[in-house]
Structure formats: structure tokens, C-alpha cells
Amino acid sequence: MSPRLDLLHPYPFQKLRQLFSDLTPNSALDHINLSIGEPKHPAPQLVKDALMANLAGLSSYPATLGSEDLRQSISDWIARRYNIAPPDATTEVLPVNGSREALFAFAQAVIDPSAERPTVLSPNPFYQIYEGAALLAGAEPWFVNCLAENRFQPDWDSVPEEVWARTQLVFVCSPGNPTGAVASLADWERLFALSDRYGFVIASDECYSEIYFGEEKPLGGLEAAAKLGRDYTRLVMFSSLSKRSNVPGMRSGFVAGDAAIMAKFLLYRTYHGCAMSPMVMAASAAAWRDESHVIENREQYTAKFKAVTNQLASVLEVTLPDAAFYLWAKTPIDDEEFARRLFTQEHVTVLPGSYLAREAHGVNPGKGYVRIALVAPLNECIIAAERIVRFCKTL
């Protein structure tokens, strides 16, 4: 077996199960799970209809490059969403089986393990795939803390020169998981300047981009490049239908950006054997072309945040995020102990923030926080918030 597998950490939800293994929750209360970022709204009917209408695709081997129709629908969506020129649908867009699979695979294609101490930079807290992808690609993860005093953005200026010199890949997550923080144009300009200087690739994870509040849409990586008069050199974005369209089980997303990198990534994926099913391609194209279901989805999340944020803010240090469907709440006691006692007393599950981060530069930036995923139906979120308030008042 690969010795690199021994470098992997337990996944956060494995740690959560262990944390709760000796607990008996209040049996008088139904369980409300706000720990997992899994969309619970119904899948759009247009997606279901497109799947059913294209079952004949089961009889065909899929193309790794995806269908021309799907690539064009993605290119058109990018142009509409970000008000930029459409990426070339043949050379700058690649459908993938969800952003999780693509983020992992991308590191395997980008990293040169023969270099001296190849390094991958990741925000901290972070989506654990970034770390696992780096380790299994033969690289060293280097965590850039995202603290409240820095708007929960990575502090790029804290990275030493010698680390930048060996960095091959930088993961960016905007809107961020778990904080919901969105990178500004100035943040992107700083990162682009560093990429120009040191030559690393930027992987921009934007899977939460369509869940936001108000009229201001989160800025994307390709959009930032266009605003700054740049091309897509060393830049790729990752997006997904899972959160946008409530179809996590369909495993559908895309990668778009630097054509030279995309060509190499396509070659890798051709051997990797991870082409999307033809019927999923057809359903995905339908989803990318429709915005009405996305607007309805966003309205549902807005209603939940409106209903519970102020209520929770009466007992916890928490504010409305820039985007995404998480509340990043500071706890008055240790985050693991908070989660354990809340589960026992109120049968509500939240995720300790320390499970989403690593000790780096003298601090675990997730410690003392919990991630609350507002994915349950509105009434359940309201009940859960009432229980959390009741619990906090006992501390």
C-alpha cells in the first residue's frame, strides 16, 4: 500500500462520530443535524425530466471531454454570471464529476513530486480534500490562517519567501467553507501578483458562489482576472451543481480556465477514467441554462438565515456570512465540549470548528467555533436555533 495513505487525517465526520460515541441524546427531542453541508432542498423538476429523457445514454460510453452541448452551456453560464467573455467551450471548459473529485484529481495532475519539497498552500480552516490531495500527490500542505481580524481571508503576507519559492499550487475557497467569506478584488490582485512572481497555479473552489444574500454576487476568480485585465494564465475555477441546483447525488460540476493547464488535466482524466454519464451531461446542461430554480433556492436559504441569525446572535458571537449556507459561530466554551453538550441536551448536531482546521503557526483557527449548516427545512432550522439558544443560556 502507498505509504502516503498513512499521512491522511481522519475525516471530520469520522471524528464527530467518535466524539459522540459515548453519548445518549435527549430521547424526548427529534434529532436535527446541522453538521453536514449537504443540500436538502428538492432537486429541480427540469433536471429530473432531463435525466429521464436521456436514459438512452446508458448504452453509450461517455466522452471524458463531455458533450459539446454541456461545455457550451457551462461557457454561456460563466459569461452570464460573471459578465465576462465566454471561455472557449472546447479548450477552457471541462465537465467533471463534482468539484470534490476534480479538486483532488487536479492536484495529482499539477504537482511535480520530483521537485524539492513541493508545497501546496491551503486556507485554514479548509475543505479537507485540499490537504488529502496535496499529501497523496507527494506535496507538503502549508496552511494559511483565516482569522476574524483579517475578514476570514488567507493572510498571504504571512507566508515566508522560502515557502512561496517552492509552492506549486494554491487552493482558494471563495465563498469560504466554513466562514462564508468572499475574496475581494484587492485580495485577488495580491494573489495574482504572487502567482506571477513565483509561478504557482491557482485552484479557485467556488462551489458556494450561488448562495448569497442581497443583490451583490460573490466575485469569482475568472471575473477578477477579467476586471484586472488579465488572461487565465495559471488560473482555474471549480464549480458545481450540488449546492446551486440541489443535486449533490448527480455529482456534476466543471473546471474552467487556463487552456494549457486544462489540456494536461484532460489528458490526466482520460487515463483516470472518470467521464460523466451521458444522461447526467444532458441534465447538467439543462440545469446550467436555467436560473429560476437557483433564485428560488437562494430565497429559501435567505429565509432561513433571516429567521435564525439574530436569534443565535443573542447568545453566540455570530453574524450573517458574505455567502454560502453556514453560520460560523464563536462558542463560549471549548468547541468539542459545546458540540457534545448540545447533542446530549438538545439533540442538535453541529460540527466543531477545530475539526475543519489544523494547528498552524501556533493556533488552530477553527478552535472555539462551530459550523452550523442551515440545510434543514426552515421549520427545523428555527426549532434548532431555539434549542441552541436554550442550551447556551444554561452555560
Residues 255 and 317 in one domain: no
Q: Does residue 51 belong to any structural domain of this protein?
A: no
pLDDT at 140: 98
| Average pLDDT, integer, range 257-274 | 96
- Percent of the chain exceeding pLDDT 90 equals 99
pLDDT at 133: 98
DSSP strand pairing (253-257 vs 119-124): unpaired
Last residue of a domain, one of 275, 290, 305: 290
- Please tell me the total number of residues recorded for the chain in this structure: 395
Q: Does residue 48 belong to any structural domain of this protein?
A: no
Residue 271 sits in which domain range?
A: 56-290
Banded model confidence at residue 11, pLDDT cuts 50, 70, 90: very high
pLDDT, the chain, mean: 97
What are 14-32's pLDDT values in tens digits? 999 999 999 999 999 999 9
Banded model confidence at residue 86, pLDDT cuts 50, 70, 90: very high
Residues 37 and 67 in one domain: no
- According to DSSP, the residues that pair with 235 across neighbouring strands are 202
Predicted TM-score (pTM) of the model is 0.97
Residues 243 and 369 in one domain: no
C-alpha cell at 370: 462551530
pLDDT at 385: 98
Q: Does residue 219 belong to any structural domain of this protein?
A: yes
Last residue of a domain, one of 263, 290, 317: 290
What are 210-247's pLDDT values in tens digits? 999 988 999 999 999 999 999 999 999 999 999 999 99
DSSP string computed for 188-199: HHHHHHHHHHH-
Residues 116 and 206 in one domain: yes
Residues 248 and 370 in one domain: no
Number of domains the chain contains:
2
Residues 73 and 221 in one domain: yes
| Average pLDDT, integer, range 271-300 | 96
pLDDT at 226: 98
pLDDT at 54: 97
| Average pLDDT, integer, range 245-263 | 97
pLDDT at 255: 98
What are 336-383's pLDDT values in tens digits? 999 999 999 999 999 999 999 999 999 999 999 999 999 999 999 999
Give the H/E segment covering residue 33.
Answer: strand 32-33
What are 316-336's pLDDT values in tens digits? 999 999 999 999 999 999 999
Residues 62 and 142 in one domain: yes
Last residue of a domain, one of 269, 290, 311: 290
Residues 37 and 96 in one domain: no
Q: CA 329 to CA 47: how far, in whole Å?
A: 35
Residues 110 and 223 in one domain: yes
| Three-class secondary structure of residue 274 per DSSP | coil
Residues 26 and 97 in one domain: no
What are 100-140's pLDDT values in tens digits? 999 999 999 999 999 999 999 999 999 999 999 999 999 99
Read off the CATH number of the domain in which 340 is found. 3.90.1150.10
pLDDT at 29: 98
DSSP strand pairing (235-240 vs 201-205): parallel
